[in-house]
Structures are given as C-alpha cells and as structure tokens.
Structure 1
Amino acid sequence: MALSGVPSRGLDSRGDISNWLDLTNIWMKKKLGKEFAFDTYKSSYDVSFMKSSVSAKDIAAKDLLDPKSKIKGITILDRLRNEFVKQAGSAVSKKYLLFVVDAAMSKSYCGLGQQPGRIAMATPRGDCWDPTKGYLAQIAKLNSPSATIAHELIHNTGVGHPCGQQSDLMIGSGCKLSSSPIEITLDAQRKLYVGTSKAGANILKAKFWKK
C-alpha cells in the first residue's frame, strides 16, 4: 500500500511481500507447527495494491501510536480498512486484513495491530527494513518484515506485549528490549499465549491458521 505523498517501491510487484509471507510461514511452521492461511489467487498470494489518502503524517502522529487511540471517532487501522473495502468490495470486510505500508513511520515501531481485531499493518521502510538487509536474518532467524507480520497478526488474537523473555516474538513497547541481535522465539516455555491465554489469548484457537 502506498501513502499520500510517498513514492511506492513496488514491494507487491517485485516479490518482496511474497517472500516475507513465505518466510513468515516457514518460521511459524517450525516454531508452532501451524501456518497463516493467507489468501491466494491463481496459486499466488492475493496481494492488492491500494493508493491511500492517509498520509505518513497521519499514522506517525503521536496520538496514533496506540491503535486504540482515535481521531474523529475512528482508528487509523479502521480508516485503512474502510478505504480498502471501498476499493475491493464488501466481501473483504469480514477477512483479516494485513496492510504493508511502504513508508517510514517511526523509530519506535514497525507495525500496528488491533488487539483483538482483524486488522494489522507492517511498515517495512527506514529502520524497519531496506533492500540491502535482504530477507534472511542470520542471528534472529527471522527478518524484520516477516517478524512484524507475525507479531501484528498475533496481536489480532488479543495477545499483548509479554515482557518476560527478551527473545520472544511478542515483546514490544513497555518491555526492556535486547540491545544486541538475538534469536527470536515463540513462547518457548508455552506459558504465555501458546496453549494458555496468560498474555491475552491462546493463539492455537485463532481462526487464521491453515486447516
């Protein structure tokens, strides 16, 4: 998705998004034995392009860092959803929607996700990702865009930012983060959100997994 005033790098057409989705599911399969059920069209991921009237300034505004914050009665994620429904039709209104926004937003986050809900956003630009970083992460074992996609979609189940393990995929704002690269884990001790809802939800019960 391109924002008003921000040139698109063609992440959809040149294959970046497809690579990120592939790597997200490879990692999830290894860690959880499950994969996200991303929609497909003619054997390829169903990735649509949208030119939004929302600007980078709208999303980067301080009062919009929290997806629960509202502007004119509607969250920034809902604004994006409403624009997309107008473009794609009402059939998508009940789906989980992942917006990949090709713009640098903030040095403090690389995405947003409703908690719980059905809308998530990843912002792979600036400090979050650039083409020179490639798609593989030697130490973390998961690149930033793929980690952001998984992180924000899991937020949609209701999981928050558990702070107990610095390596955990769901660590985030409000937690002490690791100062050096570290291999990413997924509730390694199964005490937070896998098989239990201590961190807000049990992700095994989510409806977005492949059957």
Structure 2
Amino acid sequence: MDLPGCDPARLDRTYAQFSVVNRAVAGWRGIYRTHLRPVLSATTVTTLLDIGCGGGDVAILLAAWAQRDRLRLEITAVDPDRRAFEFAGRRKHTRDVTFRQASTAELAAEGLRFDVVISNHVLHHLDAAGLPQFLAESALLCSGTAIHNDIRRSPAAYALFYAASWAFPGSYIRADGLTSIRRSYTTAELRAATPPGWAVARRSPFRNLLTLNRNPGGD
C-alpha cells in the first residue's frame, strides 16, 4: 500500500478497514485512560499531534473520547502521504481535529510544539537510522508526553493475524499487516534501539509502547 501506483480503490478500503483493526488490537482505549485522560483538562486546551495518522481513525477516536469526558483536546493529525491526507479529510470529524499533509521535519521547521505527541504503527516502518531521527523530531515537537504505539513481533501475533485477516477482502490489510508484523520490533530490540530518556513497555495484545515524559516532576 506504500507504493505510489497501488490501486486507489483498494487503498481507500484499507484505510477504512484500519478503523476496525485499530479498535480491535491497537489498544488506544486503554492508552487514553492511562496516559492521555490524566493530563487533559476541562478548562485548558491540550494540544496533541498524531504523526503518520493514515486514515485518521485514531485521531477521531481520541477526540470523541475527550469530548465525551468533557475534556478540551485539540488534535493535529499529519501524514506526508497525499492519499492518506485526502482520505482522512473526507471522514466525518469535529472541529477539534485538523488534518495536514506534512512531515515531522516540516512541523519542526515551523517551530511548532504540542503538549502530547503520538503515533500508531509508525515505528516498524523505521530502520536503525530512521528510528533515532524520528524520535528526535517527535521529542522536539513535544512539550509534555510522547506516546508511540506499535506492533510487537512474535510468531503468535503473525499466526493469529494470518488467520483473522481473511475477514478483510478487497484491501491491502492482509499483506500489509503480515509485512508489518515481520518488520516490527520485539520489546528487547526496541529497548536496545531507543535513545536514553525513552521508556519501552510491553503491552497486550502484542504491543510495544514507547513513551517520553518531558516533565517528569510536573503535575
């Protein structure tokens, strides 16, 4: 699905089906409860950057949960891929979510800073050289907490996704997902590749959560 000449109809179905996959396995409901909701306020706006937002479903979910809890959250969701940006922009979303076609380097060059920086399923796309650069840029953009949520590689994860992914015909979900699992880090590998200051936590099912707290002594 990353190839520029891939079928646009199948790509749109893939972005749409990511909503189902992320709700089922990405664990953002728990991340929202444990990491995001405690730093949000009912009176002060918290700004959040979603890097590599793809079809935009995670940003829209987080905005909906914050709105339901009467917490003020403004989300900027970015992806350098024009196709992802255009698909996300067509989704129904509130004014609390803004989609942009942009890279982290472009945002950093603009001098932007966000209270919270997140990503979903981005880390496994990065090699040994790309990961430190990505983390440095996300740290530069973050004034508070950074949370990068990704797949944790294991034979069981591959086997279960292989069996379940037949439920998503007509898209790139199956091929992309199996490739992503093969490329993803184990917890030990991610810890070894991560610069000082970042923490890696193993989560279920088959997740790695990479976090940075810029204000460890703050409220």
Structure number having the greater strand percentage = 2
Q: Under a length normalisation based on structure 1, what TM-score does the superposition of the two structures give? A: 0.32
User: TM-score by structure 2 length?
Assistant: 0.32
The structure where helix makes up a greater share of residues is: 2
